[in-house]
């Protein structure tokens, strides 16, 4: 996977999404309201943590933070943290201290299916973060850890530990690990064709005939 990551950084996220659609036949792109809180390109292997709602007396600090903090503290450089709060779009699954740890470990970014907080601190770190929004509401007292390095559904898309996460302002795409090389080659071909199409579209002032020549809708 490592030898592919730099090449993935050079291809369009839209092309990666199209490639997964064509080759794998599953939805690849997460819900569009998962948006950058800290801008930047994210490419890396998924490391996952899952949280579920629980009564306040059960959702102690340790029970709430165990899996997301362990996920960060055991991550490898270049990993992408995927934190899912089931039915928790208004609750922060990532804050400043967690982000500092993730940044210190060299993580490539965080995708949180939930909110985040300490946004000024997150932006100061510069590590890309994608989430549903911002909220000062903590997960402590509301959520408990329910899975570490397990398959999750994030933004409507299944993510397994080790799958490739590719994201920027266009959105977040999940590439199944076993298809990473084929998807990359397909996406690179799409980008190459589109690059050749652009000057011809400008010359002809029309899209349809050029698209037909390049078999690109």
pLDDT at 21: 95
Q: What is the pLDDT of residue 198?
A: 92
In a domain, 212, yes or no: no
pLDDT tens-digit series, residues 28-45: 999 999 999 999 999 999
Q: How many domains does the chain have?
A: 1
pLDDT digits (tens, 9 = 90+) for 104-161: 999 999 999 999 999 999 999 999 999 999 999 999 999 999 999 999 999 999 999 9
Q: What is the pLDDT of residue 211?
A: 87
**Domain presence at residue 198:** no
Return the pLDDT at 2: 79
- pLDDT > 90 in the chain, percent: 94
Whether residue 133 is contained in a domain is answered as yes
Residues 6 or more apart whose CB falls under 8 angstroms from that of 132 comprise 33, 34, 35, 89, 112, 113, 114, 115
Count CA atoms within 13 Å of residue 82 on its CB side.
32
pLDDT in tens, 64-98: 999 999 999 999 999 999 999 999 999 999 999 99
Domain CATH number, residue 117: 3.50.30.40
| Residue 214, domain member (yes or no) | no
Answer whether residue 217 shows pLDDT above 70.
Answer: no
Given a cut of 90, whether residue 3 has pLDDT beyond it is no
Confirm if 1 and 177 have CB atoms less than 8 A apart: yes
Range of the domain at 88: 2-182
Of the candidates 173, 200, 150, 125, the residue with the CA atom closest to the CA atom of residue 47: 150
In a domain, 205, yes or no: no
* Residue 1 pLDDT > 80: no
State the average pLDDT for the chain.
Answer: 96
Mean pLDDT of 182-208: 94
Q: Left if phi > 0, otherwise alpha if psi is -120 to 50, otherwise beta: which for 204?
A: alpha
Asked if residue 203 is part of any domain, the answer here is no
Phi, psi of 159 (to 5 degrees): -130, 130
Neighbours of 191 (CB within 10 A): 16
Q: Given this model, what pLDDT does residue 214 score?
A: 83
């Amino acid at each position: 996977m490592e030898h592919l990551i730099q090449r993935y950084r050079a291809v369009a996220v839209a092309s990666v999404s199209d490639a997964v659609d064509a080759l794998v036949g599953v939805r690849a792109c997460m819900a569009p309201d998962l948006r950058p809180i800290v801008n930047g390109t994210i490419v890396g292997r998924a490391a996952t943590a899952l949280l579920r709602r629980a009564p306040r007396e059960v959702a102690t600090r340790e029970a709430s933070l165990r899996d997301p903090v362990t996920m960060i503290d055991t991550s490898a450089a270049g990993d992408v943290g995927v934190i899912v709060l089931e039915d928790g779009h208004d609750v922060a699954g990532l804050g400043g201290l967690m982000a500092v740890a993730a940044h210190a470990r060299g993580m490539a970014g965080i995708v949180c299916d939930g909110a985040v907080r300490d946004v000024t601190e997150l932006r100061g770190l510069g590590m890309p973060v994608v989430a549903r929004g911002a909220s000062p509401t903590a997960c402590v007292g509301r959520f408990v850890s329910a899975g570490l390095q397990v398959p999750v559904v994030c933004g409507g898309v299944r993510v397994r530990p080790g799958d490739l996460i590719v994201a920027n302002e266009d959105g977040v795409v999940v590439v199944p690990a076993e298809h990473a090389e084929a998807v990359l080659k397909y996406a690179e071909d799409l980008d190459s064709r589109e690059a050749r199409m652009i000057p011809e579209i400008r010359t002809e002032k029309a899209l349809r005939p050029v698209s037909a020549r390049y078999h690109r809708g």
